Structure 1
Amino acid sequence: MEQEFKALAKAIEAIHNQARKFGLDFFPMRFELCPADVIYAFGAYGMPTRFTHWTFGKHFYKMKLQYDFNLSRIYELVINSDPCYAFLLEGNELIQNKLVIAHVFAHSDFFKNNIHFAPTSRQMVETMAVHAAKIREYEFKYGHREVEIFLDAALSIQEHIEPPTIFPVAEEEGEKEKGPSRPRETPYDDLWALDGKPKEQPRERTRKIPPRPTKDMLAFIMNNSPELEDWQRDILAIVREEMRYFWPQMETKIINEGWATYWHARIMRELDLTEEETIEFAHLHASVTQPGKMHINPYYVGSKIFEDIEKRWDSPSQEDRERYGRQGGEGRAKIFEVRTCENDISFLRNYLTRELVEELDLFLYQKVGAEWVVVENDWEKVRDGLVGRLTNCGFPYIVVEDGDYQRRGELYLKHCYEDLELDVPYLEKTLPYIYLLWGRPVHLETVIDGKTAVFSYDGKKNSRR
């Protein structure tokens, strides 16, 4: 065992040095060797210190069962933090861990430098530990079952938030409107309010709540629900903060995994591998980048796009030279620029070319009757179709339209329909959870079979009109 640790430490040092030579800029790395149970628990929870909930346990048993039957395996688990934590699976061969180590160094570089991760907290490991302690305290005070039921409701709409933005905003969604205030000219201005003169009256609040549709359903309910107690508002704030931390990872899945795959291949080729290790690495890399049959493999598609970008900027065509002024030899600089600026949507829209769509054999398909059939292979429509499915990380775009619907304090939501219908059984199961959070009837407007439909829940039953 001691020899294995020494070999692993030596491999980490060699990979670290090679990654630096390639220009990767990552957080300080912390590696831990863990048994499968621990790795899959972290994978199910998303973080080692996160609060407990039965849905995480369900994910754990599903993932662990697939591992036990050799149907799937978590090769790498890395956390966006400073320092950056990476977990290696006990029982892996040294060459497997070498690939994982090279892969996570590139992930850490992406976390540190991609602009969409800039607003995220790098101390979320500690923050989530505080959150977990708070929820345990609430369970002790109000009862485990009571807290679990409320968490069920909060997690049912956890994706309906306003994601962290790299641009400053005037106010958080759900914040109450405030009247105008006089600019403060001196430190003693507040004393002049004592002179008996009438104070400036605040602007009367707009009747509509919210003044404009808001996507941040969690924040709106947290700030405006008349039924919530303080501890419940705190749990909503916890769920929202943690989802805002995970959001950049969800919107950069293809580009992030593509970047890590691109670099682990190049780092491994520079290492002094034995003949057996070289063969095993080739086998592992091929399994990681194997094209998916029914879905996009982000490792494969992402790395192929990066390779294509580097090639086109290194050796531009005559048309590219004349049209864009490319000089050639700029491929490496360009992929670092792309790594910094893009998310999955912009990555595919800007760099998925006709040639790549044909090479990767990408197409759109749907189920017709009992069979899956190809419905589109025009490269621009395929690209736009893929981008459309990634909008809002693939979740339905639903806004709070009115928090005082028909002047009865009811909640009116609207689905921003774009040719993709909601799952009606799922919708009908979720509305009672939103009712629990809001405390009054809830309505959701959407489009079914080309016609506008409104689903409602009044605390007793679902209805549709």
Structure 2
Amino acid sequence: MTKLAAKPLYEGSDWNFDTIQRIYDTVETIAREELDLNTYPNQIEVITAEQMLDAYSSTGMPLLYNHWSFGKQFLTNELMYRKGQRGLAYELVINSDPCINYIMEENSATMQTLVLAHAAFGHNHFFKNNYLFQQWTDAEGILDYLEFAKRYISQCEERYGQVQVERLLDAAHALNRQGVHRYPRGQARDLKAELARENVRHAQRERDYDDIYRTLPAAKAKAADAGVSARAAALGLPQENVLYFLEKSAPRLAPWQREILRITRVLAQYFYPQGQTKVMNEGAACYVHYRIMTTLHQRGHITEGSFLEFLTSHTNVVSQPMFDSGHYGGLNPYWVGYNMMQDIAQVCVAPTEEDRFWSPDIAGNGDVEGTLKHIWANYRDESFVSQFLSPRLMRQWRLFKLDDHEKVDHIKVDAIHDERGYRELRRGLARQYDISWQEPDIQIVDVDLAGDRTLMLEHHVTNGVLLAEKDAGRVVQHLADLWGYEVVLREIEPEGGSSLKEHKARPRATGPRLAEG
């Protein structure tokens, strides 16, 4: 029998720091003993609603450089919050070592218990163990790197002027979605080593091809331009990481400007895994907090009233308005992830014949925690859905797939609830989380070294979807400002290779300029 606690951890909604410590210690014991979670050390910070709004504006980072877009985001969120048009998150968690957990001082004692279970142990375990975070992020070095970035950009503002730095950041922010390496290149980035190398980089005036761009006579330039393949090999083309290419090869950027581009893309790389694991990360955290809160209730650590308060909040978080509801806004990642985690647990302990057919590797293995921790460590949203979305959930969710083509005047139901339909539904939903469908495939393909140094890019169109013309024009303009010469972006039809659309821009006089440093 479960041994009941002598008394609950708290009574009512009030709490103090001693209460938080008791709650944390008890939650940690359950997380270690019952779920065997492997986490970074936790750092708990109690903040106000205004501080939470401030954290929102700086993408959740505890330290970040100044930029007008962060202030604009703060004012927007604050206005909506004051008008009651939106609420605030109960918590915010940073993928760092130690793992920083912000909890709102306005939370009740029950909500503090919930968010500690959710963030300090659910998200924390996922951050530390998922392969994408291990490959792409350095949790130990990120806080030091943020401090360096804030200090460095502040020094640049003092030395070169706020306007110059702001224009550079405007351009870099416009391109940060094209500022990541999408394929592993060895070990995870060591940000402390990056800090050590920064001094060496800063001491060198120009690197890579800048001397070639500035001094090469026309005749030699033509000789160097003998073949596209040779030029591509020399410049490392094609290159999908646009900010990386500009940092290394843009001929008119000063060393300090290159370093700011590097800072921008390092931070973009830090957030890269989070966009691919939203369903899994939130699903894992919801599963963990539900298990921990249920165990707390069973052992008498929280009262019936507190458990009811938790269930109300939990139900709201994992709710899903249906397509015919006025509140529908797409699939709630908390709902998808949590329900799939619960379904996997059922398959492990009480499988049906259907489960044994669709999930033979895990059906009936009896090891719920081991199976889930393996999944949390080795999958991302796309592969998770394509591997583990069960026919049972598809029926419960009443999923079906539509075949909708622009040139056809009717819509066809392409997948229903049969064996073929289940496979099509899996693939179709998994594709919605595929990074190649979420982000445009844009690559730098050539540079006209022999002529006017035009930078040429290609967008390989997916599913017939072209770039939004207005946004594409603005981003290409920022790219031209950084490159210093004309930029041409062609949208290419994937099958025949024909050009569907073309965007051009020349650098503006008001764009980032070469500054001595």
TM range (shorter): 0.7 to 0.9
Between the aligned partners of 1:308 and 1:254, the Cα distance in structure 2 is 14
What is the match of residue 92 of structure 1?
A: 107
Structure 1's 333 and 424: CA in aligned 2 closer, same or farther, altered over 3 A?
Answer: same
2:21 maps to 9
Cα distance in 2 for partners of 1:264, 1:314 equals 20
User: Residue 138 of structure 2 aligns to which amino acid in structure 1?
Assistant: S
Change in 2 beyond 3 A, CA 1:81/1:367 = same
Contact 2:180–2:265 (8 Å) recurs in 1: no
SS of the aligned residue for 1:413 comes to strand
Residue aligning to 1:51:
65
- Look up the equivalent residue of 1:330 and give its one-letter code: D
Percent identity of equivalent pairs: 29
Give, in angstroms, the shift of residue 165 of structure 1: 4.9
Moved more, 6-15 or 78-87: 6-15
State the alpha-carbon separation in 1 of the partners of residues 176 and 404 from structure 2. 29
- In structure 2, what is the equivalent of residue 455 of structure 1? 503
How much has 1:363 moved relative to structure 2?
5.5
Among 429, 442, 445, the residue aligned to 2:474: 429
Out of 412, 422, 427, which is 2:456 matched to?
412
Paired position in structure 2 for 1:102? 117
Is 1:135 equivalent to 2:179 in the alignment?
Answer: no
Residue 180 of structure 1 is matched in structure 2 by none
1:313 paired with 2:313, answer: no
The whole-number CA distance in structure 1 between the counterparts of 2:256 and 2:412 is 50
Give matches, 1:213-362, under 5 Å: 213-271=238-296, 272-292=301-321, 293-318=328-353, 321=356, 324=360, 326-362=363-399
Residue 42 of structure 1 corresponds to: 55
The answer to whether the 8 Å contact 2:123/2:282 transfers is yes
Q: Aligned equivalents of 2:456 and 2:343: distance in 1? A: 47
**For residue 47 of structure 2, what is the amino acid of its counterpart?**
C
Normalising to structure 1: TM-score of the pair? 0.84
Distance 1:214 1:388, change over 3 A: farther
Farther-moved stretch of structure 1 (274-283 vs 355-364): 355-364
When normalised by structure 2's length, the TM-score is 0.76
Residue 319 to residue 367, structure 1, CA distance change in 2 (3 Å): closer
Distance (whole Å) between structure 2 residues aligned to residue 411 and residue 428 of structure 1: 15
Equivalent residue number for residue 145 of structure 1: 163
Residues 151/365 of structure 1: CA separation in 2 closer, same or farther (3 Å cut): farther
Change (3 A) 1:64 1:383: farther
CA contact (8 A) 2:91 2:103 kept: yes
Give, in whole Å, the separation in 1 of the partners of 2:268 and 2:64.
12
Distance 1:18 1:224 in 2: 53
Are residues 1:61 and 2:86 paired? no
Distance 1:262 1:107 in 2: 11
**1:121 counterpart residue number:** 138
SS at match of 1:278: helix
**Partner residue of 1:400?**
444
Contact kept in structure 2, 1:376 and 1:382, CA below 8 Å: no
How far off is 1:64 after superposition? Answer: 2.5
Does structure 2 retain, via aligned residues, the 8 Å contact 1:435–1:442?
yes
Note the alpha carbon deviations across 1:265-296, whole angstroms, 9 max, x for none: 11001112212212111110011111151212
Give 2:196's aligned residue: none
Query: What are the superposed Cα offsets for residues 93-140 of structure 1, whole Å, 9 maximum, x if unpaired?
Result: 111111111101110011111111113111211211110100000000
- Counterpart in the other structure of 1:32: 45
Q: Secondary structure at the match of 1:454?
A: strand
Q: 1:429 to 1:377 in 2, by over 3 A?
A: same
* SS of residue in 1 equivalent to 2:302: coil
1:193 aligned partner: none
Question: CA offset at residue 330 of structure 1?
Answer: 3.0
Q: Is structure 2 residue 434 aligned with structure 1 residue 391?
A: yes
| 31, 36, 41: which one aligns with 1:23 | 36
- The Cα shift of 1:348 comes to 1.4
**CA–CA distance in structure 2, aligned partners of residues 427 and 229 of structure 1:** 26
SS of residue matched to 1:408 = coil
Of residues 266-275 and 64-73 in structure 1, the stretch that sits farther from structure 2 once superposed is: 64-73
- Residues 239-262 of structure 1 show CA distances to partners (whole Å, capped at 9, x for unaligned) of 011111111112111100110011
- Contact 2:355/2:390 (<8 A) preserved: no
SS in 2 for 1:332: helix
Matched residue of 1:415: which SS? strand
Q: What is the Cα deviation at residue 74 of structure 1?
A: 1.1
Contact 1:402-1:412 at 8 Å conserved across structures: yes
Q: Report the 3-state secondary structure (helix = DSSP H, G, I; strand = E; otherwise coil) of the residue aligned with 2:176.
A: coil
Moved more, 309-318 or 432-441: 309-318
Q: Partner amino acid for 1:233?
A: R
Q: CA deviation at 1:159?
A: 1.1
Change (3 A) 1:233 1:375: farther
2:178 pairs with 1:160: yes
Rounded to whole Å, the distance in 2 between the matches of 1:93 and 1:254 is 27
The number of residues matched between the two structures is: 427
